[in-house]
Structure 1
Amino acid sequence: MTYSKGKSYVTQTELARLLNFSQQSISRKLKELEEDKLIVRIISKEGEIIRLTEEGEKFLNTCLTSLKDAILSLHSIEIRGNIVSGLGEGKIFLSMEYYKTQINKIMGFDPYPGTLNIVIYDKQSLENRLLLDSSPSLLIPEYKQKDRVLGAVKLYPASINSIKPAAVVMPLRTTHPKSVIEIISPFYLREKLNLKDGDEVTIEVYV
């Protein structure tokens, strides 16, 4: 984002890169915003400059207020379980540039290349885990490559043993039973929390 005379603006190329959208998609959306008088587009030597109108700034502030209210209304679901070793699928998943980029964009951190697997044993924690299936989540959308499709993944902001940031990850296509959940974090959690297989942990999932 660039600043000029107290006003913020961004080029169309930068916007497409930041949002991971095609130029065509960005152009269509910008046309809609321009028709709604929320932005103006200016041609300059730097390219096409996108700037909010006064009405656009008011609309953005309204959105930010709504987002703040939504964040403040978050409540948590507690899940307890025991650490188990995985099959290495999480490491493969987190080594893919698409997922790494999306997690950084959505969660604001670069994930450690591997997930922490937890098996849920007690009834209340399992019931809480099942609640997540019908709770609002953040979403990494499905992405089609030439030779394969990278499946969609649900993300839930979380903490584990009070350590943040972290997130519960739930691929929409998975072989894991409902009693197993995976946690990602910028930290190597086994080392950060001095964990070994069998140790019990407490996860607070924010929904």
Structure 2
Amino acid sequence: MAYSKGKSYVTQSELAKMLNFSQQSISRKLKELEDDKLIVRIISKEGEIIRLTEEGERFLSSCLSSLKDAILSLHSLEIKGNIVSGLGEGKIFLSMDYYKNHINKVMGFDPYPGTLNIIIYDKLSLENRLLLDSSPSLIVPEYKQKDRVLGAVRLYPASINKLTPAAVVIPLRTIHPKSVIEVISPFHLREKLNLKDGNEVTIEVYV
């Protein structure tokens, strides 16, 4: 449960504002939590005050513990390579609302319209790239339009030269060999990181 300025409670209106939910949605969710005996709701002059029950505190503690375990279980794969120019296809696809909206939904950012292409040059980095094919990923699903099919894309949260947010994108249908990967970000990466063709970069892919 969120707390407000050191208080051990939060009002319904404060909670709705923090979570960017409507009052109606918050009321519905709170009713479910109350029915499950995870919270109590108290009417006061400040409005409706929400407190966790003892059972709610235990449940929250369990959720936080599970989240901590999940975070600690994350590991990264390091991939090094050199910047190369692409064919401009990334700009076309990332300008489409379908891909922009889905990437924002799963990655939490609006991608800059264009991908940064990196060619892998060492054995360990290529092995780590191949490991991605069998690693869990976020997915932008295939979408069939009347006159064409927008292919599915796998997304892996990443950093590039320690800059985040970013993601490695692997289209399920691609002309690139395994030795070439594409990185997206809300930033124009060439400008943000002062990169040009031939520069070496280090990508940390979180799997």
- TM-score, normalised relative to structure 1: 0.72
SS of aligned partner of 1:51? helix
Deviation at 1:173, TM superposition (A): 1.0
Deviation at 1:204, TM superposition (A): 0.5
Unmatched segments (≥5 aa) in structure 1: 9-13, 16-45
Deviation at 1:139, TM superposition (A): 1.1
Alpha-carbon separation, structure 2, partners of 1:174 and 1:92: 14
1:51 aligned to 29, 43, 62, which one? 29
Alpha-carbon separation, structure 1, partners of 2:71 and 2:37: 22
CA-based RMSD: 2.8
Deviation at 1:71, TM superposition (A): 2.5
Deviation at 1:147, TM superposition (A): 2.4
1:158 is matched with 158
1:138-177 equivalences in 2 (<5 Å): 138-177=138-177
Which is higher, the Rg of structure 1 or of structure 2? 2
2:135 is matched with 135
1:170-189 equivalences in 2 (<5 Å): 170-189=170-189
- TM-score, normalised relative to structure 2: 0.72
SS of aligned partner of 1:69? helix
Residues 1:63 and 1:95: Cα distance change in structure 2 (over 3 Å): farther
Deviation at 1:134, TM superposition (A): 0.6
SS of aligned partner of 1:114? coil
SS of aligned partner of 1:104? helix
SS of aligned partner of 1:87? coil
AA aligned to 1:129 is R
Residues 1:121 and 1:5: Cα distance change in structure 2 (over 3 Å): closer
AA aligned to 1:124 is L
1:1-207 equivalences in 2 (<5 Å): 4=12, 50-51=28-29, 53-54=32-33, 55=36, 66-207=66-207
Unmatched segments (≥5 aa) in structure 2: 1-10, 39-55
Q: How many residues align?
A: 171
Which 10-residue stretch deviates more, 181-190 or 136-145?
136-145
Deviation at 1:72, TM superposition (A): 2.8
Deviation at 1:151, TM superposition (A): 1.4
Moved over 4 A (4+): 5-8, 60-65
Alpha-carbon separation, structure 1, partners of 2:64 and 2:99: 26
